[in-house]
Structure 1
Amino acid sequence: MKGYIDSKLQDRFASSQIAVDVNDKTIIVYSWPVDLPSNELEKFLESICSGYQVQFNGLHQEENTPYQNVQVEDAGRIEPFEEGGFLPELNAFFPTMLADTRILGYSAGYRSYDKIFKSTLPVSIGDQFSLYQIKLNSTARLYFGIEACVWAIFEAKTKSLSLINADYYIGLPLTYVNDKFSARLRLFHESSHLGDEFLLETQGIKRVNPSMEGLDISVGYEPIDKGLIFFGYRRILRSDESFKVKPNSIYYGFNYFLNFAKIQTFNVVGTPYIAAYIANNENNHWNFDSSVAVGYQWDKNYGRKLRIYVLGHHGYSTDGQFSRKRSKYVSLHLLYGY
């Protein structure tokens, strides 16, 4: 972990010669330039090492004489935590809603007791990253990014693994992050296509074109450590004539990590969690559409995470033109993403 922190400090504060050490879950800063505000440095360290405490050794600060004359205008100097501009190294996203049936990432799973399809194999391929960052103040950032994903389900049959349906998604999120509060405004396109083999094998099914564009607004807040509550509103701006969609829906829920049960091995932290996601859609007469997830997450305090979780869903299908059908299932997933 110390090597990772040293590397990030060198990238961000090129000529500052900041000295740190790591003791358990505490980052100890021994020396830093006097023109570098400690709160800026603390925010940066917390952003790359979530879950770690930052401690400044005051005895060494006054002895930091070699850096008393360091000028902000010095060539090659990077302003403290100034990561504005294109392709920021430290991506910040709206917190993942862990019980959502549509999570961006790379995943594979098994779905059973499905009221519509019986047994299926759900997979996804997707990712997200920030294109531009604006620093608003010492704690607030505004990110503009792009995200895309394909969610597909296959028949779980011994003779055939025919593609049933694939949903294609691309979004342009504008995300605001300030300490424990986050908000996201997102413009998106989504379309869905049935598998050719599934159409040939299934009698009496008519292919339509569930294609739509919409606007999505989400807010999230962490009232307690490792606990998130969120609320969102979605408005469909246009939908295809063959599959018209009523425009309004809301969603809400929570994530909660059981921090007391986490285990750290080889710099990887494993933490169990529970989560819930509930939606009410005008297209389905505002009936409840709910999912609950219980899982385990491994991460290194930065970057992508690995999750294995069981999800129970009761409500409506999220698979393309089947979204007006009632659905109930239990599924097991392995996912790599944010």
Structure 2
Amino acid sequence: MQIKLLLTFGLLFLNIILAAQENSAKVELFPKGRLFQELIFDPNESQAFGTIAAYWEGGKNTDKLYLPFGMGFYKGFLRWNKKKPFEIGFDFAAQTQFEWVFENGKSERNILNSDLKVSVMLHKKISEKHSFRLRFYHVSSHLGDDFIIRNNIGSYFPNPNNYEQLDFLWSIQNGGARYYGGAGLVVRPEIIRKRVSFQFGSQYEHFLKTKLPLAFTAGIDVKILEENEFNPGLKTGLGFRLGKKESSPLRIIAEYYRGNLPYSPFEFKKVQWLGVGLYFMP
């Protein structure tokens, strides 16, 4: 079944590229911007960000600060059909998590893990309100040297956070509000990871009447994974955006997360964090 899905996805992309070549006069290479906007509150989105947060694990407070940090970007490769445009693009993300521990009057900053993700995707704008994203991506997770040494890890252990997935997401834009939802399926054959996932959420941005290009922003993202026994992973926040509508904005967001750890091979851990983050889409 998974091989058939991959073949279908590959044939779909091939047909799209051939169709674009037949209408080459309307094709735009490396277009500016993107048809399907980023999901600001998705903890795995390919964007640049850094957060400092108080951290709970298993419902208990910890004597450390949690510092997830990421670098990511999206680039469109091909766009055509101006009225109801299609776009093929790719993105890349490297997301690393640190901890800042305070013990016996001393502090330590340790690297926990790094996740790497690369995606190829098809965007389609149906109308001013409606668009969708069809995406295929690979993600792999790698423990930090600090973590391996401190925990005396000297042998292989199963890592379910190393897989390929095909997913589909539909987005509705209504003024400053945006709503989205969809589902995904892990397609790598013979994998220890459970396959089904769902995602939905909303974002809201409203520009304020100030001399600066300043907007209020808020949102929520929810992921429900079979791998996590369908326990919801919820991230929500509110803050401000600095930057014009057509620019790459900087956002400062007070954020809260509750659910299974969205990074590393230790997704089974149930965590919470509350903190402040800076977000930027290059």
- SS of match in other structure, 1:300: coil
1:322 counterpart = 2:270:
no
Q: How far 1:337 moved relative to its partner? A: 0.5
Displacement, 1:115? 1.4
Taking structure 1 as reference, are residues 331 and 207 closer, same or farther at Cα in structure 2, changes over 3 Å only? farther
1:29-48 map, 5 Å: none
Deviations 1:294-318 (A, max 9, x none): 1211122213110010111111111
1:1-338 paired onto structure 2 within 5 Å = 84-88=27-31, 90-115=32-57, 118-135=64-81, 137-138=82-83, 140-157=84-101, 159-177=107-125, 178-203=127-152, 207-209=157-159, 210-222=161-173, 224-238=174-188, 244-259=192-207, 262-265=208-211, 268-337=212-281
Check whether the contact 1:276–1:291 (CA below 8 A) recurs between aligned residues.
yes
Q: Measure how far apart 1:106 and its partner are.
A: 1.7
> Whose RCO is larger (CA < 8 A, sep 6+)?
2
Contact persistence 1:291–1:313 (CA under 8 A): yes
Q: Which amino acid counterpart does residue 170 of structure 1 have in structure 2?
A: V
Q: C-alpha displacement at 1:264, in angstroms?
A: 3.8
Give the deviation of 1:97 after TM superposition: 2.2
Q: Percent identity?
A: 20
Distance in structure 1 (CA, Å) of the matches to 2:228 and 2:110: 28
In structure 2, list runs of 5 or more residues that go unmatched: 1-24
Q: CA deviation at 1:207?
A: 4.7
| Structure 1 portions without partners, runs of 5+ | 1-81
> Secondary structure of the residue that 2:265 maps to in structure 1?
helix
RMSD after superposition: 2.2
SS at match of 1:327: strand
User: In proportion to residue count, which structure has more strand?
Assistant: 2
Aligned residues: 247
List per-residue Cα deviations over 1:143-177 (Å, max 9, x = no partner): 00010001101121364322101100000010012
Letter of the 1:86 partner, please give it: L
Return the offset for 1:125: 0.8
Query: Contact 2:55–2:271 at 8 Å: present in 1 too?
Result: no
TM-fit CA distance, 1:263 = 4.0
* 8 Å contact kept, 1:120–1:156: yes
| CA deviation after TM superposition for structure 1 residue 121, in Å | 1.4
Normalised TM-score (structure 2): 0.81
Q: CA–CA distance in 1 between the matches of 2:117 and 2:275?
A: 22
Shift of 1:288: 2.1
* Amino acid in the other structure paired with 1:91: G
Q: The residue matched to 1:198 in structure 2 has which SS?
A: helix
- Over 3 Å counting, the alpha-carbon distance change for 1:255 and 1:170 in structure 2 is same
Which one has the largest radius of gyration? Answer: 1
